[in-house]
Amino acid sequence: MHNFLSVKSGLTPSRRLAATDNAHRWATPKNERRTKLNVAKLYTINQCCELLSIGRTKMYDMMNANEIRYVTIGTARRVPHSELMRFQESRL
């Protein structure tokens, strides 16, 4: 049986045994592996303009008037998906 603790690793048999006994300490628990981050989809200005069928100038005007909320990442503005849905519902 060849694995990462094989004779080629240079470990003595007692150290290999100790390493396999401690391997469970390094493993990620199953429930942590399945955890997903709840990250909101962020849209660029161009994507928002396409989805809302408006021009860039109108988009920036609405953002500056706080009609559409956004987040700033560095110098770039991004609009969360939930904000686009809220804005579309308010227009109906």
pLDDT in tens, 26-60: 566 666 655 566 667 999 999 999 999 999 999 99
Instruction: Please report the pLDDT score of residue 81 as a whole number.
Output: 93
Instruction: Please report the pLDDT score of residue 24 as a whole number.
Output: 55
- The whole-number average pLDDT for the span 79-86 is 93
Distance of alpha carbon 87 from alpha carbon 59, whole angstroms: 12
Q: Quote the pTM value.
A: 0.57
- Residue-averaged pLDDT of the chain: 78
Return the exposure string of 56-81: e unless at least 16 CB atoms fall within 10 Å of the residue's CB, then b. Answer: eeebeebbeeeebebeeeeeebbbbe
- The whole-number average pLDDT for the span 71-82 is 94
